[in-house]
Chain A
Amino acid sequence: MEIEQKLKHYRLSRSEYDQIVQQLGRPPEGVEWALYSALWSEHCSYKSSRIHLKKIFNKSSRVVAGFGENAGVIDLGLGERVAFKIESHNHPSFIEPYEGAATGVGGILRDIFTMGARPIALANYLCFGEVKAPRMTSLLDGVVRGIGGYGNCVGVPTITGQTEFHTSYNKNILVNALAVGYFAPEEPVLRARAEGVGNLVVYVGAKTGKDGVHGASMASESFDEKNEKKKPTIQKGDPFYEKLLIESCIEVMKKKLVVAIQDMGAAGLTSSSFEMAAQGKVGFCLNLDKIPLRDSSMTPEEILLSESQERMLMVVRPENLIKLKAVFAHWGLDAEAIGEVTAGPEVELFWHGENICKIDPRFLVDEAPRYDKPYTKWQDKNRVTSFKPYEYGIKAKSQKLLELLRDPKFVSRNWIYDQYDQRVGAKTVFDCTESVGAQRLPSGKILGLVLGGRPYVMRFDAYVGAIDCIAYPALELAAKGFLPLAATDCLNFGSPDNPEIMSEFVATIEGMSAQCEALHVPIISGNVSFYNETLGENITSTPATGLVGLKDHFEATPRSYFQNKNDEIYLLRLPLLKFQGMFAEVEKLSQEGSGYLDVKKVASFADLTRHLALVKGVSASRVVGKIGLAYALARMTTAELGVEIDKVINDGVFIENLYEVLFTVNSDSALQFRELFNKLSQNNEIDMKIIGHVREGIFKIKNEIDLPLSEIHSAYNTNWEVLFAGLS
């Protein structure tokens, strides 16, 4: 093959080729091409993002493991720790939704138990195009079935989720999966750092097949008309195998039979072996012919790049091999020694005794290209000094609310969640029907989990959206009394070669980091997914985040729904930025907003919110979000309990104020609640008012909305089946 053809096949640029020649002192040969292709792909090397990722706020005395490991680990006190991470599986899910989503769940679970933690919870952040876009209902169906098919079978509950719809995802859906794992006191945290010359490199799990070859580099470029042809790059998952792998790996780790461990994810054996060697500053000698194969015709290149699922690579002391094999045999799995750790520095690959490659792993990992792609400094967008809310009569507004409640963007997502096992593990305190997922840990403490990232705020102004993707979920945790502890992020963007996208990317990292620092919430893990672009059309820049929070016990945690008739309803406000966001989008009005977010003020507002949520007698709470107050109240209703709001809402009910929190309080506790507010609120920008009461059967907001509760309830809860009739 001509050089140009080879570069195209291996998705390397001319300048990267020149860098390779310089490293090696000669042109690359044989399987070296495949190694460079995989490890220098955007997906594995983070070459366009790395210089910016360094700026992410990641400091806290609670951090046990951060970036660079398979997942971040945070200390909860009393010896308990959790590992967690969110990761994208966008490209595969668009090509083949069931397997794409399923293997997304499988991959993130492996990242967690590779650290030594037992997976205890899952969450999913999904973005779909318009319901009427081609393939969209079947994509949604496939993704939901895939997530359920995998998560339900391995026995890890899905406890929260977020689902968005927008035209920008018509040709690039987003499927981000988050997993949390638990370490009991004394349980070890494992690393991917290989060490100990003479130790064995052991291959564990499913046999290697031709599936997923070139998957990492596939996910590092945009889509075109030929997506169908990319099907062979999709992996197929086997959750049953994963379950056996979880149990057996946790057992060998607890028995201290493992020196280092890494799962074979993107770029399979290549990335796991070279990264382990590079991290440990050692060499490897690997016999590729010893790899258990599903297909005996596979070439060394295919073996190196296969992304077959449910496989792990371990470094093991020779004297422990027999004990290790016995554990895996108990679970019906094979463990095969395929090589050993050497003084290095090279990794040497053998094929039936012949040395087919000898290369320094640092060339491929540490010295991978770094790009500072062009971007511009962020400028505020869509700001006006003041703007008027759009005026309707009370009847029109009431009808508008019903119309919105039936819209796929706002309708209840319970149809999705009902297909996930939300309670296996018997730890679930709050399932997907609450605004925050929560689990009870063995110590009795409660772990809260919530997703963040609101694409319409990103479309309004990426810097505001970036702050919001931390601030909003942190407030959701605070509104249930959780102290936000740490975050993970999945940065879904279009092409980094587009300076506008790159500017949004940089602004996102800066905004997120600023809010994280103000809240003392480090970002401890994450991933970047670029090239969410088809034929020049980019997705909305979408940072998806996951935050965990902690509270001491379950008692008196506010729910997300009205609990008792006649409870008082309070609105707590820090009105820093006012905009019409999503309402402007659905009504096709111009995007306008006024004001700016201040991360420090937001952080102290979150702290105040948390203290108020801990008052006994606070029965329910919810952060006011998309399309404002009326929607937030509608989501708090039950079949019996509605509202009567008798205070006039100044800006109308379809404006969004960043930030507002709703509380319902039992009248016996109301005095204590108000006194605590008066005591803690030093900032006169924050106000809190009683705006009405929980009432049976009605949904009334003075001068705005007047509807029977049943209409609200049926619009919100039953229209999914109508919208997706073909599916149910």
Chain B
Amino acid sequence: MNKTVGVIRFLGTNCDQDVFSAIKQAGLSPEWVCHQDQFDKSQYMALFLPGGFSHGDYLRCGALAARAPVMKSVVEASRHGTPILGICNGFQILCEANLLPGVLVRNNSLRFRDGWVGLQRVQQSPQFGSDKLIYAKLPIAHGEGRYYIEDDQVKKLFDDEQVWCVYERNPNGSVENIAGVMNENKNVAGLMPHPERAVADFMGGSDGLSFFTSLL
């Protein structure tokens, strides 16, 4: 079994080390992929786009990173069916790259928000998170985490089983409390909270670990 997992680093990505360690802790083999790199669509068993402030969030968060050379390979891998998870800024990048529906805009408080949230699973992702994990406690840390999609598309998103998880209590004004979504094929997923920051008791919880171990 190919256990190599690509971790994509853009200029300004800052959760890269944390995601890298969590993948290793899960028994997989993480490998760095640089924003300028290209790779073969079947090279990695899975891809992660960690959080951070790619390109300083200038222009719009994720907008510049979505146009980095590496994204061409990411798009090809997504068509090939490779599981891809974007966390926080990674989620924003996948939306900007049109690999996921909707967009993430400024929190309704207009402030950055750090803290722990409760997450409820709406649909199981075939790759990320064990089937037993229907509720998880995970940290958030974002200024632009309010999930938005036009009214007429919200229902479709639920009907097509693309809504992955919702917040127990809405921290940012997201439409229908949405915290994570999937593409139509369910191999690409985006999540605003940080599972890599909840993989050991000392961190305050370990619900995040199964988002990595479930790939095995």
List A residues at the B interface (Cβ < 8 Å): 145, 148-149, 152-155, 238-241, 243-244, 331-332, 417-426, 428-429, 440, 554, 728
The digit string for B10-29, where 1 denotes a CB below 8 A from any CB of A, is: 01101101100110000000
Pick 19 A–B contacts, CB within 8 A, sort by A: A145-B111, A149-B112, A152-B112, A153-B56, A240-B58, A243-B11, A243-B12, A243-B53, A332-B11, A418-B113, A421-B141, A422-B141, A423-B141, A423-B203, A424-B15, A424-B141, A426-B203, A429-B203, A554-B201
Q: Are B202 and A155 in contact (CB under 8 A)?
A: no
Query: How far, in Å, is B86 (CB) from chain A's closest CB?
Result: 16
Q: Are B112 and A428 in contact (CB under 8 A)?
A: no
Is B114 located at the chain interface by the 8 A CB criterion?
yes
Q: Are A421 and B202 in contact (CB under 8 A)?
A: no
Is B143 located at the chain interface by the 8 A CB criterion?
yes
Which residue of the partner chain A has the closest CB to B16?
Answer: A155
**Contact of A423 with B53 at beta-carbon distance under 8 Å, contacts A153-B12, A240-B12, A243-B12 already known:** no
Query: How far, in Å, is A663 (CB) from chain B's closest CB?
Result: 22
Q: Are A423 and B194 in contact (CB under 8 A)?
A: yes
Q: Rank and list the top 7 A-B pairs by shortest CB-CB distance, nearest first.
A: A155-B14, A240-B56, A426-B18, A421-B141, A153-B53, A554-B202, A423-B197
Q: Are B112 and A421 in contact (CB under 8 A)?
A: yes
A residues near B111, Cβ cutoff 8 Å: 145, 418-419
Q: Are A240 and B55 in contact (CB under 8 A)?
A: yes
Is B109 located at the chain interface by the 8 A CB criterion?
yes
Query: How far, in Å, is B203 (CB) from chain A's closest CB?
Result: 7
Q: Are A419 and B52 in contact (CB under 8 A)?
A: no
Q: Are A240 and B53 in contact (CB under 8 A)?
A: yes
Q: Max chain A CB contacts within 10 Å: which of B12, B14, B15? A: B14
Q: Are A152 and B199 in contact (CB under 8 A)?
A: no
Q: Max chain B CB contacts within 10 Å: which of A154, A243, A423? A: A423
B residues near A243, Cβ cutoff 8 Å: 11-12, 14, 53
How far does the alpha carbon of A148 sit from the alpha carbon of B109 in the complex, in Å? 15
B residues near A419, Cβ cutoff 8 Å: 111-114
How far does the alpha carbon of A418 sit from the alpha carbon of B114 in the complex, in Å? 5
Q: Are A155 and B15 in contact (CB under 8 A)?
A: yes
How far does the alpha carbon of A675 sit from the alpha carbon of B202 in the complex, in Å? 29
Query: How far, in Å, is B64 (CB) from chain A's closest CB?
Result: 10
Q: Are A155 and B52 in contact (CB under 8 A)?
A: yes
The digit string for B51-69, where 1 denotes a CB below 8 A from any CB of A, is: 1110111100000000000
A residues near B207, Cβ cutoff 8 Å: none
B residues near A244, Cβ cutoff 8 Å: 11-12
A residues near B58, Cβ cutoff 8 Å: 240
Q: Max chain B CB contacts within 10 Å: which of A332, A424, A428? A: A424
Query: How far, in Å, is B7 (CB) from chain A's closest CB?
Result: 14
Q: Are A421 and B109 in contact (CB under 8 A)?
A: no
Query: How far, in Å, is A66 (CB) from chain B's closest CB?
Result: 29
B residues near A154, Cβ cutoff 8 Å: 14
A426 touches which of B56, B113, B115, B196 (Cβ 8 Å): B196
The digit string for B29-65, where 1 denotes a CB below 8 A from any CB of A, is: 0000000000000000000000111011110000000
A residues near B53, Cβ cutoff 8 Å: 152-153, 155, 239-240, 243
Query: How far, in Å, is B10 (CB) from chain A's closest CB?
Result: 11
The digit string for B129-140, where 1 denotes a CB below 8 A from any CB of A, is: 000000000010
Q: Are B14 and A424 in contact (CB under 8 A)?
A: yes
A-B contacts besides A240-B55, A423-B197, A440-B202, 12 pairs, CB < 8 Å: A145-B111, A153-B12, A153-B57, A239-B56, A243-B14, A419-B111, A420-B114, A423-B139, A424-B141, A425-B17, A426-B199, A554-B201
Number of A-B contacts (CB under 8 A): 81
How far does the alpha carbon of A78 sit from the alpha carbon of B211 in the complex, in Å? 33
The digit string for B193-216, where 1 denotes a CB below 8 A from any CB of A, is: 010110101110000000000000
A residues near B15, Cβ cutoff 8 Å: 155, 424
Q: Are B11 and A421 in contact (CB under 8 A)?
A: no
Which residue of the partner chain A has the closest CB to B208?
Answer: A426
Interface of B is mostly: mixed
Which residue of the partner chain A has the closest CB to B54?
Answer: A240
Q: Are A428 and B56 in contact (CB under 8 A)?
A: no
B112 touches which of A148, A423, A429, A440 (Cβ 8 Å): A148
Query: How far, in Å, is A207 (CB) from chain B's closest CB?
Result: 16
B114 touches which of A149, A331, A417 (Cβ 8 Å): A417
Which residue of the partner chain B has the closest CB to A420?
Answer: B114
A residues near B52, Cβ cutoff 8 Å: 155
Interface residues of B in 80-121 (CB under 8 A from A): 109, 111-115
A residues near B11, Cβ cutoff 8 Å: 240, 243-244, 331-332
Q: Max chain B CB contacts within 10 Å: which of A152, A240, A243, A426? A: A426
How far does the alpha carbon of A627 sit from the alpha carbon of B58 in the complex, in Å? 46
How far does the alpha carbon of A728 sit from the alpha carbon of B53 in the complex, in Å? 24
How far does the alpha carbon of A241 sit from the alpha carbon of B109 in the complex, in Å? 27
A residues near B115, Cβ cutoff 8 Å: 418
A residues near B21, Cβ cutoff 8 Å: 426
Interface residues of B in 158-216 (CB under 8 A from A): 194, 196-197, 199, 201-203
A residues near B12, Cβ cutoff 8 Å: 153, 240, 243-244
How far does the alpha carbon of A153 sit from the alpha carbon of B15 in the complex, in Å? 11
How far does the alpha carbon of A152 sit from the alpha carbon of B141 in the complex, in Å? 9
How far does the alpha carbon of A492 sit from the alpha carbon of B113 in the complex, in Å? 31
A residues near B202, Cβ cutoff 8 Å: 429, 440, 554
A residues near B194, Cβ cutoff 8 Å: 423
How far does the alpha carbon of A418 sit from the alpha carbon of B143 in the complex, in Å? 11
Q: Are B114 and A422 in contact (CB under 8 A)?
A: yes
Query: How far, in Å, is B17 (CB) from chain A's closest CB?
Result: 7
Query: How far, in Å, is B154 (CB) from chain A's closest CB?
Result: 28
B residues near A331, Cβ cutoff 8 Å: 11
Query: How far, in Å, is A480 (CB) from chain B's closest CB?
Result: 14
How far does the alpha carbon of A425 sit from the alpha carbon of B201 in the complex, in Å? 15
B residues near A149, Cβ cutoff 8 Å: 112
Q: Are A152 and B56 in contact (CB under 8 A)?
A: no
B residues near A332, Cβ cutoff 8 Å: 11
Query: How far, in Å, is A464 (CB) from chain B's closest CB?
Result: 36
How far does the alpha carbon of A440 sit from the alpha carbon of B202 in the complex, in Å? 8
How far does the alpha carbon of A554 sit from the alpha carbon of B56 in the complex, in Å? 34
B residues near A423, Cβ cutoff 8 Å: 114, 139, 141, 194, 197, 203
Q: Max chain A CB contacts within 10 Å: which of B109, B113, B139, B199? A: B139
How far does the alpha carbon of A426 sit from the alpha carbon of B204 in the complex, in Å? 11
How far does the alpha carbon of A239 sit from the alpha carbon of B58 in the complex, in Å? 11
Which residue of the partner chain A has the closest CB to B201?
Answer: A554
Q: Are B114 and A428 in contact (CB under 8 A)?
A: no
B residues near A426, Cβ cutoff 8 Å: 17-18, 21-22, 196-197, 199, 203
A residues near B201, Cβ cutoff 8 Å: 554
Query: How far, in Å, is B105 (CB) from chain A's closest CB?
Result: 17
Query: How far, in Å, is A172 (CB) from chain B's closest CB?
Result: 26
How far does the alpha carbon of A241 sit from the alpha carbon of B17 in the complex, in Å? 19
Query: How far, in Å, is B113 (CB) from chain A's closest CB?
Result: 6
How far does the alpha carbon of A149 sit from the alpha carbon of B144 in the complex, in Å? 13
Which residue of the partner chain A has the closest CB to B51?
Answer: A424
How far does the alpha carbon of A93 sit from the alpha carbon of B209 in the complex, in Å? 41
How far does the alpha carbon of A429 sit from the alpha carbon of B204 in the complex, in Å? 7
Q: Max chain B CB contacts within 10 Å: which of A239, A240, A417, A425? A: A240
B residues near A417, Cβ cutoff 8 Å: 114
Query: How far, in Å, is B70 (CB) from chain A's closest CB?
Result: 14
Which residue of the partner chain B has the closest CB to A728?
Answer: B109
Which residue of the partner chain A has the closest CB to B109?
Answer: A728
How far does the alpha carbon of A152 sit from the alpha carbon of B58 in the complex, in Å? 14
Q: Max chain B CB contacts within 10 Å: which of A243, A332, A417, A728? A: A243
**Contact of A238 with B56 at beta-carbon distance under 8 Å, contacts A331-B11, A419-B113, A423-B203 already known:** yes
B residues near A424, Cβ cutoff 8 Å: 14-15, 18, 51, 141, 197
Which residue of the partner chain A has the closest CB to B14?
Answer: A155
Q: Max chain A CB contacts within 10 Å: which of B55, B109, B115? A: B115
Which residue of the partner chain B has the closest CB to A554?
Answer: B202
Q: Are B143 and A152 in contact (CB under 8 A)?
A: yes
**Contact of A428 with B141 at beta-carbon distance under 8 Å, contacts A148-B112, A238-B56 already known:** no
Query: How far, in Å, is A549 (CB) from chain B's closest CB?
Result: 16
